[in-house]
Amino acid sequence: MTTLNVNTPEYWDRVYLHEWESGSVQGDGYHRDYGPIHDAVVGLVPDGSAVLDIACGAGVLCRKIKRACPASQVTGIDFSEYMVARNQEHDAALGIDYRCVDIRHSLASIARQFDVVCMCEILEHLEEPEEVVAAAFSLLKPGGRFILTCPHDNSIPDHEHVRVWGHDDLFHLLAAYAREVTFVHFPPPYFHIWMMAYVTKHPSAPEPIVSK
């Protein structure tokens, strides 16, 4: 039986509208602030880098990167038009570039390359993750750093999640683009079982997959 994928721009516009208007995005303890997981991501970003955060949502990670690395150029993209507009207003003084882009099929519209590309808390929501990751790598400079985080195995049963990712699955997803895949695992009690994988893009990494 095929489960309907709820992850549409309309769905996430409604989710973020509720979270913004309730004040949870701006308040302490926002549930999409992944604390030490985000800290580990920020620690991998050299100051002065051009950084792309794919599926940036409420902009939490973008803000952390920009504040920790003020010389960086941070771009955040998401397919929620509502949240992108709120982020643009909220972070105008930080100089973060927010754009409304549907990452499922329009990453090529970015038309530039970055030193660091992040895909955090998004892989488990995608029906065609291999194609999205391939397109994301096309936006990364050779020698650039790709960082991905997601739940480990079925640690978070959630109607928004369409695929479960284990350590081996994530390794095979990224191994084509690098000579080495580094993992960091985050056990409870802070959060659910989580993992981060990061690689340095190999100069001979494959070209993006093109859908027929």
Query: Mind listing the pLDDT tens digit for each residue in 127-174?
Result: 999 999 999 999 999 999 999 999 988 656 678 888 889 999 999 999
CATH number at residue 141: 3.40.50.150
In this predicted structure, what is the pLDDT of residue 150? Answer: 93
Angle between helices 9-21 and 81-90 (to 10 degrees): 40
For residue 93, what are the domain limits?
9-19+33-200
The pLDDT mean for the chain works out to: 91
51: its two tokens: 């950084």
Which stretches does DSSP call E strand in 23-165? 50-54, 73-78, 97-100, 114-120, 140-151
16-55 pLDDT, tens digit each: 999 999 999 988 889 899 999 999 999 999 999 999 999 9
Domain count within the chain: 1
The answer to whether position 48 is within a domain reads: yes
Residue 62 lies in a domain: yes
Q: What is the pTM of this model?
A: 0.92
DSSP β-ladder status, 140-151 and 194-200: antiparallel
What is the per-residue DSSP string for 160-204?
T----B-HHHHHHHHGGG-S--EEEEE-TTSSSSEEEEEEEPPTT
